[in-house]
Amino acid sequence: MAKFFIPVLAFLIGLWVYVVLQEQNKNNTSTTENQLVKTVEEYVKIRDSIIKSPKYSNFKEVTFNKISVMLPSYLDTTSSLSTSAYLQHENLKKEFYFLLYTSTTSEYTSIEDFYNATLDGIKNAVTSYRIIDTSYKKINNYNVYRADITGIFFNGYDSLPLKYNILVALIGDTYYDITQWTLVNNIEQNEEDLNIIMSSFLYKPNIEEIRSELNSSSFLDLFK
């Protein structure tokens, strides 16, 4: 009798332990997901408060896929600046122009290659090409390359001294390139808005992505 009872008892104890552990895992998963939902809700509230802040009172949020950027409300949508840009905005009176390009990691071997290709694109379009400032830093938790460039662009009628700002970032398997420019003579009146655009560049994840990346600390760092 004892020989039969002991294995059964061991089995029942093991089954009880398994059920308890499963319930704990279920509760832990539920708690984690609830925390993530709360995190996303907080993220949205913070983002909304930023958008509605006085700093952005004359700005509008423009999105492409999950990329968000704040643009001055006086910039109009256009299709005349580039045949390959996904976002194009301009203000002819202010001589203020904005482009957003994307490329995949299959097209470039590294973010450095994409960055250099972006610089080459400007270099080939102007004369007196000069890089006046470069940086490699974090903006909204992503490593990005920044550069300020000056050059002379000939539009067929006049030679125009321009200042370019570029931002290049790698997010997932996609490269993003913001290129914006204005006349050198207009820098003083446009510089603040140019800087706000660059600092507002943001990736907007959704709850499904967060749930699928529970083990990715770098992804969750987005919300810190």
- Please report the pLDDT score of residue 17 as a whole number: 46
Q: How far is CA 53 from CA 32, 59, 189, 191, in A?
A: 31, 10, 21, 19
- Please report the pLDDT score of residue 183 as a whole number: 96
Considering the domain boundaries, does residue 77 fall inside one?
yes
Q: Which of 61, 66, 91 is nearest to 76 (CA)?
A: 91
The token duo for 131 is 């890089």
Q: Are residues 29 and 97 in the same domain?
A: no
Question: In the predicted model, is pLDDT for residue 197 greater than 60?
Answer: yes
CATH of the domain at 168: 3.40.1000.10
- Please report the pLDDT score of residue 202 as a whole number: 76
Q: Are residues 2 and 78 in the same domain?
A: no
Q: Are residues 124 and 104 in the same domain?
A: yes
Q: Are residues 67 and 43 in the same domain?
A: no
Considering the domain boundaries, does residue 1 fall inside one?
yes
Question: In the predicted model, is pLDDT for residue 9 greater than 50?
Answer: no
Instruction: Show the domain range for 105.
Output: 57-203
Segment 25-79, tens digit of pLDDT: 555 545 555 555 565 566 566 566 666 666 666 888 898 887 888 899 999 999 9
Burial pattern 6-35, b for ≥16 Cβ within 10 A else e, equals eeeeeeeeeeeeeeeeeeeeeeeeeeeeee
Q: Are residues 117 and 175 in the same domain?
A: yes
Q: Are residues 126 and 145 in the same domain?
A: yes
Considering the domain boundaries, does residue 108 fall inside one?
yes
Considering the domain boundaries, does residue 216 fall inside one?
no
Q: Are residues 35 and 82 in the same domain?
A: no
> How many domains would you assign to the chain?
2
Segment 159-190, tens digit of pLDDT: 999 999 999 998 888 999 999 999 999 999 99
Q: Are residues 99 and 196 in the same domain?
A: yes
Considering the domain boundaries, does residue 221 fall inside one?
no
Question: In the predicted model, is pLDDT for residue 20 greater than 60?
Answer: no
Q: Are residues 16 and 72 in the same domain?
A: no
Q: Are residues 27 and 89 in the same domain?
A: no
The token duo for 14 is 């093991």
Considering the domain boundaries, does residue 210 fall inside one?
no
Question: In the predicted model, is pLDDT for residue 116 greater than 70?
Answer: yes
pTM: 0.70
Considering the domain boundaries, does residue 187 fall inside one?
yes
Considering the domain boundaries, does residue 212 fall inside one?
no
